[in-house]
Amino acid sequence: MNVGQLLRSTRKRAGLTQEDMSPLVNISRSTISKVERNEMTLATEDFIRWLQTIRAKLAANTTTLETSLYVINGVDINLLVDMLTKVVGGIISFLF
């Protein structure tokens, strides 16, 4: 599973269309489409906003335990660790 597929999967699990997601993360629908097709990458702040939106949407519909299971289910852990490492590394580089 690649990053775009992962983001698409999380959006769909939250029950959001690209049109629904666009104003929530302040990204155009066409940009969301490009990101999900791996034609474009998200800036760190956009990635964080995406995850916060998904978490909030899932939390509104389920308990915390269920939310964790939805997000983790089917996710390639190696890809997730790789993505998070890059995000944290980018934040650390920005700060120092």
Which among 1, 11, 4 is positioned nearest to 70, based on CA atoms? 11
Tell me, what's the pLDDT at 1? 60
DSSP labels, 17-63: -HHHHHHHHT--HHHHHHHHTTSS---HHHHHHHHHHHHHHHHHHS-
| pLDDT attached to residue 39 | 94
The class that CATH gives domain 3-95 is mainly alpha
User: Where along the chain do its domains lie?
Assistant: 3-95
Name the percent of the chain lying above pLDDT 70: 69
Q: 3-13 and 44-61 are packed helices; what angle lies between their axes, rounded to 10 degrees?
A: 30
Q: Mean pLDDT, consecutive 10-residue segments, the chain of 96 residues?
A: 84 90 94 94 86 79 56 60 72 67
Supply the pTM of this predicted model.
0.61
Token couple for 93: 């580089």
* The two structure tokens encoding residue 51: 């995850």
Query: What pLDDT is recorded for position 10?
Result: 86
